[in-house]
Amino acid sequence: MTAVYVYVMDTMADWEASHVMAELNSKRFFKKDAREVELMTVSHTKTPVRSMGGLTILPDRTADEAAAVKDSLLILPGSDQWNRPEHLKILKKAGEFLSIGAGVAAICGATAALAGLGLLDDRPHTSNGRGFLNMFCPDYKGEKYYIDQPAVRDGNLITAGSTGGLLMAKLILEYLDVFSTDTLKFWYAYFSTGDPQAFFSMMQSVQ
């Protein structure tokens, strides 16, 4: 069983992780021999949080209950509250995930939070454009590893800018290996272009 934890918090940009959450929860396009995946929301407490889009979310678990084991993944959506002290625990846990080879996916403001802990200083990554991480993280030293793409994967680390949610979802699905190669190709083609032929090809690929 692969545990996938999505950190939820007030003002989180709910749409940034919505594509991948929908697919991991519904499993509608999973290949027949896909691993078992359990999707859970976590936060600093179990009290409800309210997203930027106005959704009220009741976390399944606390950050302490997110097990840092190799066969797990932590997803960190964007928010304007990443600098609050109550979220430091999950950021430190993200460091634990990375150190043992578990997966971490961070988008938008969450990339700045990782950069603030030095977790992006020595490996390829992206964010909301060159200069964004320097603006919010004076101690950031990873400029030479910055890649100007909507989303980037470096082994067990996936990072994305605010417009990279769909590509981040593709990279996560690829990392977890829950879609067939063809299904993932057509899934991304359809949702990124709206091409109806890609939709029919996607549906045929999962039959």
CA–CA gap between residue 113 and residue 36 (Å, rounded): 30
- Confidence band, pLDDT 50/70/90 cuts, at residue 46: very high
The residues that bridge with 4 in the sheet, in sequence order, are 39, 73
Fold of 2-176: Rossmann fold (3.40.50)
Residue 25 has pLDDT above 90, yes or no: yes
Which residue in 55, 56, 79, 68 sits closest to 7, CA to CA? Answer: 79
Residue 6 has pLDDT above 80, yes or no: yes
If phi > 0 it is left, if psi is from -120 to 50 it is alpha, else beta; for residue 84 that is beta
The HSE-up count of residue 33 (CA atoms within 13 Å, CB side) is: 2
**Mean pLDDT of the region 6-17:** 97
| Model pLDDT for residues 79-112, shown as the tens digit of each residue | 999 999 999 999 999 999 999 999 999 999 999 9
**Mean pLDDT of the region 17-43:** 97
* Catalytic residue IDs: 108
DSSP conformation class of 125: B
What stretch of H or E contains 4?
strand 2-7
Longest CA–CA separation in the chain, Å:
51
**Mean pLDDT of the region 161-167:** 97
- Look over the chain and give the mean of its residue pLDDT values, rounded to a whole number: 97
- Confidence band, pLDDT 50/70/90 cuts, at residue 207: confident
With tokens 């600098």, the residue in question is: 83
Residue spans of the domains in the chain: they are: 2-176, 180-207
- Evaluate if pTM is beyond 0.95: yes
Q: Residue 169: what pLDDT?
A: 98
The Cβ of residue 67 has, within 10 Å, a number of other Cβ atoms equal to 13
Q: Residue 75: what pLDDT?
A: 98
CA–CA gap between residue 64 and residue 35 (Å, rounded): 25
Q: Is 167:174 a contact under the CB 8 Å cutoff?
A: no
